[in-house]
């Protein structure tokens, strides 16, 4: 059934995210399938070279997902049982899960209420002798203060694994995230700024660690001079297929165009919603923000209604929305690590009030107006 019929809206359903895949990309995928080179091959190598060029020539390895990337980055850093990794509570569950799967302990800290990024003061206060790494998230594509982040890491001799799932194309003081720093993880899920259907990538500062992850992503296999194989360390099956990499090559070629379009759409959101309180709207950032999401906070106390009510009202008007994100420290798996509710008030408020509105490059300005008209009508009611 057409979603516009199901919701009672006369207009087509507007999702909160949608990938940009054109006929050229579909044909390129078809050509790759016809070549019968389906698993990792020349397209993966070409995609890794292109990503490396985009990030200043640094070593890149592509994977089946950004989650796989986070896990292998931790392994490459030698992090495991008995170690601690500090991360924000206001991020996607994959970050905590990757840490836990290595046997290390996720240590949650609060975030800045406005930027939604990890509080570096809270991170420093959480450092113990067992702390081995920081795993910050560039929330919605807005970068952390990178100088301060790496000053903190150097001072305490910590590794940094940047969760840049939402931030490919983001710049900090003119430099692309991933073109500097320690290890950076990107996501190519369909709701990210570019997609390979599913997939991710790690960008390294150390080519030795890149080579180590290359083996780990395919069972830990190393080929010997006589053509036989050896396994030096137990690996996994995280290698990207050529079909995905072919799409990634064409997506990367248009990434800056996609991000520029996101900036234009976000400018209209701010034009229409700029009168709302500053604790409701996300920070504008600057031209370096890649704007994966536009996620204001709902003034629920003033509204006297629930987020679910607002989301249902939007859906009744044919508009999709999402939640980005729940507070990880309140999930069943991790509640015992942080003391439950009240531990991180900013993360908890964001988790209660956040609402992800539609934002994707194929979206039109009149569709932004449609979302804003509906949201303002709901808030006014």
Catalytic residues, which ones?
A: 192
The closest alpha carbon to 137, from 366, 340, 328, belongs to 328
Report in angstroms the alpha-carbon separations of 225 from 71, 219, 229, 337. Answer: 30, 18, 9, 48
Report in angstroms the alpha-carbon separations of 316 from 7, 146, 223, 295, 355. Answer: 5, 42, 57, 20, 16
Q: Supply 288's token pair.
A: 């370096």
| Burial (CB count within 10 angstroms: exposed 0-12, middle 13-18, buried 19+), residue 377 | exposed
First to last CA, the chain: 30
Instruction: List the beta strands (DSSP E) in the chain.
Output: 60-63, 84-88, 105-109, 131-134, 159-163, 171-172, 175-176, 183-187, 200-203, 221-223, 229-231
Cα of 313 vs its chain's centroid, Å: 27
Report in angstroms the alpha-carbon separations of 24 from 21, 27, 61, 253. Answer: 8, 5, 25, 12
Q: Which residues contact 374 (CB under 8 A, 6 or more apart)?
A: 313, 314, 317, 319
Count the alpha carbons within 13 Å of 156 in the hemisphere toward its beta carbon.
23
């Amino acid at each position: 059934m057409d979603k516009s019929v199901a919701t009672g809206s006369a207009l087509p359903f507007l999702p909160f995210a949608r990938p940009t895949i054109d006929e050229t990309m579909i044909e390129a995928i078809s050509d790759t399938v016809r070549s019968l080179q389906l698993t990792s091959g020349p397209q993966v190598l070409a995609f890794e070279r292109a990503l490396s060029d985009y990030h200043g020539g640094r070593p890149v390895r592509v994977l089946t997902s950004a989650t796989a990337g986070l896990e292998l980055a931790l392994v490459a850093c030698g992090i495991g049982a008995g170690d601690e990794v500090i991360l924000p509570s206001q991020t996607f569950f994959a970050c905590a899960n990757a840490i836990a799967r290595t046997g290390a302990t996720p240590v949650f800290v609060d975030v800045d209420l406005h930027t939604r990024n990890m509080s570096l003061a809270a991170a420093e206060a959480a450092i113990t002798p067992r702390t081995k790494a920081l795993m910050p998230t560039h929330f919605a594509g807005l970068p952390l203060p990178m100088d301060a982040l790496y000053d903190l890491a150097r001072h305490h001799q910590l590794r940094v694994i940047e969760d840049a799932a939402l931030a490919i194309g983001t710049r900090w003081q003119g430099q692309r995230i991933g073109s500097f720093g320690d290890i950076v993880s990107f996501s190519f899920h369909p709701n990210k700024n570019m997609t390979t259907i599913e997939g991710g990538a790690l960008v390294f500062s150390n080519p030795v660690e890149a080579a180590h992850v290359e083996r780990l992503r395919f069972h830990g296999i190393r080929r010997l001079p006589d053509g036989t194989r050896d396994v030096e360390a137990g690996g996994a099956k995280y290698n990207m297929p050529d079909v995905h990499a072919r799409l990634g090559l064409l997506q990367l070629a248009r990434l800056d165009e996609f991000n520029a379009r996101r900036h234009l759409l976000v400018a209209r959101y701010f034009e229409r919603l700029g009168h709302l309180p500053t604790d409701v709207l996300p920070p504008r950032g600057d031209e370096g923000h890649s704007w994966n999401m536009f996620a204001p906070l709902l003034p629920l106390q003033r509204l006297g209604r629930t987020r679910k009510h607002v989301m249902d009202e939007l859906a009744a008007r044919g508009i999709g929305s999402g939640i980005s994100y729940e507070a990880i420290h309140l999930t069943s798996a991790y509640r015992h690590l942080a003391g439950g509710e009240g531990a991180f008030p900013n993360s908890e408020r964001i988790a209660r009030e956040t609402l992800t509105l539609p934002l994707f490059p194929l979206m039109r300005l009149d569709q932004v107006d449609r979302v804003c008209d509906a949201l303002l009508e709901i808030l006014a009611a």
